[in-house]
Chain A
Amino acid sequence: MSAAPPTIGRFERLQRRVFRKPLDGLVTLFIAAILAWLAWQAIDWGILRAVWRAEDAALCREAHAGACWSIIDARHRLILFGLYPYDEHWRSTSAAVAIIATVILSCIPWFWAARRLISLWIAGFATYYLLMEGSPLGLEQVTTDKWGGLSLVLFLFSSVVLLGMPMGLGLALMRRSRLPMLRWVASLLIDFIRSLPLLTTLFTAAVVVPILLPDWLQGDKIWRIIIAFSLFFACYQAEVFRGGFQAIPNGQFEAGMALGLGKWQSLGLIILPQVFRHALPATINMVVVTFKETAVVIIIGLFDLLASAQAAFGTGDWVAYYMETYIFVALIYWAFITSLGRYGEFLKEHMKQEDH
């Protein structure tokens, strides 16, 4: 039995955090002043003195002008869609919406059953692919080399997660297998890929693999990159799953055997559901990191969000407005990553409470 902590009011608690000692009060006020000044600078430059419409671009050159958002107004289609044909942009938009909807739906607990989650992701991914590629639906065909911008980022992200997740589970199962050969191959692969920078793995897929494969096996560069990226994801995710397996007492396997279930049955019905649950927070973290890491594909020569942003301010009158473009792209990434990360933290807290 523990005694109830003494209750203190909200105001008193705030007072303790801010004015416990005179120095605390000073520090807090000083930081508040700095933050207020920074916020004011940002608002003044980004909103009050900003130029908004593409037609007003000439105003950007005046001395008192703040941010020149005209470049976003004028070139947002290039930034968001890359080289995708102009008349077909609605397809790129709907495809991106399909992926975002898939991610949002998979945050709802109702979908947290293997079959539902897998069908949801396959459906979302298929919708995306059919809309973007077009030819099976009788639309104008757009090949992958024309995909770009935000839609390409979402495509890389969703295909890496979709392919990498089962690969990661397979590697995790191999690594804890009773059969030494399976264990050794999996450990070697996981440790090797994990100690290389992602960029090295992707570069190898883009540049070296064509030398190692016969012509008919090479496929598009984008698919080679996706498979290498999925392998990278899988090697990290396998370690996440391994952590999940370690949280499960041996008695659970024995209980499965006592019920007369086979090895695979007890794995699928008893062990894996618990592994997924234990591994969920770390998995979401991994998904967030993957979204962020997709940004390096610009170096391998894919036309992602960063590349299309650089193209947007790379020509003509817009060269001076690199800052506005980068801020726009940073905000897009930030919004996606922060909301996914927040959701992960919420889930972690939620599960912690359920456990008690």
Chain B
Amino acid sequence: MLSWRDFRRMTAREVAVQIGLVLLVLVIVFSAIRSAQVNLAALGITSGFSFLDRSTGWSYSFSLLERSIDDPYARTLLIGFLNTIFVGLISIVLATVLGFVIGTMRDSHNLGLQVISSVYVQIFRNIPLILQVVFLYALLIHFPGPRQAHSIADAIFMSNRGIMVPVLALPLDVVAGLVLGSVLLGIGAVRFAGSARRALAIWLAGTIAAFFAAALLLTPDGQDLVSYPELKGLRFEGGLTLSVEVVAMIVGIVLYGAAYIGEVVRGGLAEVPKGLREAGESLGLGSFAVWWTIRMPMALRSIIPPLGNQWIFIMKATTVGVAIGFSDLFYIVSTSITQSGQTLELIAILMGAFLLVNFALAQVVNWLNARLALKGYGA
């Protein structure tokens, strides 16, 4: 902390520079407030957060919760926030899995795997994300209509309305509860199971068992456990419909993010001393065992910090969804601004939400880092 002694050691000029800087910041802030008051008064807008209770009167593309156009701004913004978190988390998980596969392939000694993974990285990392998302969206909306939908085994259908997949016939609130339970189980497993492998096994088995148990218990007699999409007239019924916007967003962000994460993973693997691999091989371990029990655990320590940066990047990247009309928080905020004129309040909400999400993600990364830190290494 700053003490009087620090000030006494400074020259008069150094003190003057600092006072000048603080004054400059204050002048900028106060004149901004002043002209905001003048400009808002001219536009006839009353500032404050009371607009959050007014109903919006407009609709948007995607929501996880029940919604109507009479929703107040507060609920609409909450839905946008949930959409951002939803797409962000799914993209983070999928991009991390795909990224580890790509990174391991790039590190492999097999020429074929190396070539195909570096082609992948060269393509998807070197084209702007927004262009990839817009391109994917254009491809998807040019799919045939529901009647001529492409189908895989009559269970998965792809049409210009999105992708329809079979799904366990469970009500939305039960699914939400199960997902929450699965997350808690995952956290508990990582905390208390001795090894990563055991934690993964517990989490996977527990989650799958819980979903099927819920489906068995909650489905009324005589109804199917799984709801399949079926063509009824001009549209599909049953199953789960992933809308074109959601698919384009998630696939685009995952392909792009995985190229970056792949490079992070490759870099981490390359830093593991060669002697460790040779030691494992001379113990008679196969190449998968060497990768899983020796190289990856060592590599994770250098992978996690840049991986955390990629996760934060992916969260922020969800804002490109506005280009294809996906109703993420940025989309909702910018529409609310045009509709209500409460610019300053809405921008503050947008910034606050992203600061919150990034802070939470950073905590997760720090926690992972602390857990994985090698005893006796570094600080």
Contacts and interface: CB of A to CB of B under 8 A. Distances in A.
Interface of A: 14, 16-18, 20, 24, 27-32, 34-35, 178-182, 185, 192, 195-200, 203-204, 207-208, 210-214, 292-296, 298-299, 306, 310, 322-323, 326, 329-330, 333-334, 337-338, 341
A31 B109 contact: no
A146 B301 CA distance: 51
Given A197-B330, A199-B320, A179 B10 contact: yes
A333 B316 contact: no
A17 B123 CA distance: 24
A244 to B, nearest CB: 18
A299 to B, nearest CB: 6
A208 B344 CA distance: 7
Interface string B98-120: 00000000000111111110010
Contact of A18 (B25, B111, B126, B142): B111
Contacts of B17: 179, 182
4 nearest A-B residue pairs (beta carbon)? A28-B112, A295-B128, A31-B112, A197-B316
B355 A195 contact: yes
Contacts of B358: 195
Contacts of B110: 17-18, 20, 24, 27-28
Contact of B131 (A35, A203, A326): A326
A77 to B, nearest CB: 20
Interface of B: 2, 6, 10, 14, 17-19, 21-22, 25, 31-32, 35-36, 38-40, 109-116, 119, 122-123, 126-132, 134-135, 138-139, 142, 312, 316-317, 319-320, 322-323, 330, 334, 337, 343-344, 347, 350-351, 354-355, 358-359
Contacts of B111: 14, 17-18, 28
Contact of A196 (B40, B134, B351): B351
Given A32-B112, A326-B134, A333 B128 contact: yes
A133 B2 CA distance: 51
Contacts of B343: 207-208, 211
A225 to B, nearest CB: 15
Chain B interface mostly: helix
B320 A207 contact: no
Given A195-B354, A333-B126, A204 B10 contact: no
B112 to A, nearest CB: 3
A179 B15 CA distance: 8
B112 A326 contact: no
A17 B113 CA distance: 10
A354 B330 CA distance: 47
A16 B31 CA distance: 70
Contacts of A16: 109
B320 A296 contact: yes
A197 to B, nearest CB: 4
8 contacts: A17-B109, A24-B112, A28-B113, A30-B112, A180-B18, A197-B330, A295-B129, A298-B130
B323 A35 contact: no
Contact of A204 (B131, B316, B347): B347
A135 to B, nearest CB: 31
A199 B330 CA distance: 9
B110 to A, nearest CB: 5
B115 A207 contact: no
B135 A326 contact: yes
B21 A182 contact: yes
Nearest to B24: A185
A322 B110 CA distance: 38
B138 A197 contact: no
A180 B6 contact: yes
Given A27-B112, A182-B21, A197-B319, A211 B130 contact: no
Contacts of B131: 295, 306, 326, 329-330, 333
B354 A196 contact: yes
Given A179-B18, A196-B316, A200-B319, A330 B344 contact: no
Contacts of A18: 110-112
Given A208-B343, A211-B35, A181 B21 contact: yes
B301 to A, nearest CB: 19
Contact of A185 (B21, B31, B40, B126): B21
Contacts of A198: 316
Nearest to A326: B135
A200 B134 CA distance: 19
Given A29-B112, A182-B21, A322-B138, A200 B130 contact: no
B126 to A, nearest CB: 4
Nearest to B34: A214
Given A182-B17, A197-B316, A200-B350, A299 B138 contact: no
Contacts of A293: 128
Contacts of A196: 316, 351, 354-355
Given A195-B354, A197-B319, A299-B322, 17 more contacts: A27-B113, A28-B111, A30-B112, A178-B14, A179-B18, A185-B25, A195-B312, A200-B319, A200-B351, A207-B334, A208-B344, A211-B40, A212-B35, A296-B128, A299-B323, A326-B138, A341-B126
Contacts of B109: 16-17, 20, 24
Contacts of A207: 334, 337, 343, 347
Interface centre among B6, B131, B134, B142 (most CB of A within 10 A): B131
Nearest to A195: B358
Contacts of A197: 316-317, 319, 330, 354
A31 B317 contact: no
A334 B126 contact: yes
A329 B127 CA distance: 9
B127 A211 contact: no
Contacts of B32: 212-213
Nearest to B355: A195
Contacts of A192: 355
Contact of A211 (B317, B344, B351, B355): B344
A30 B344 CA distance: 57
Contacts of B114: 17
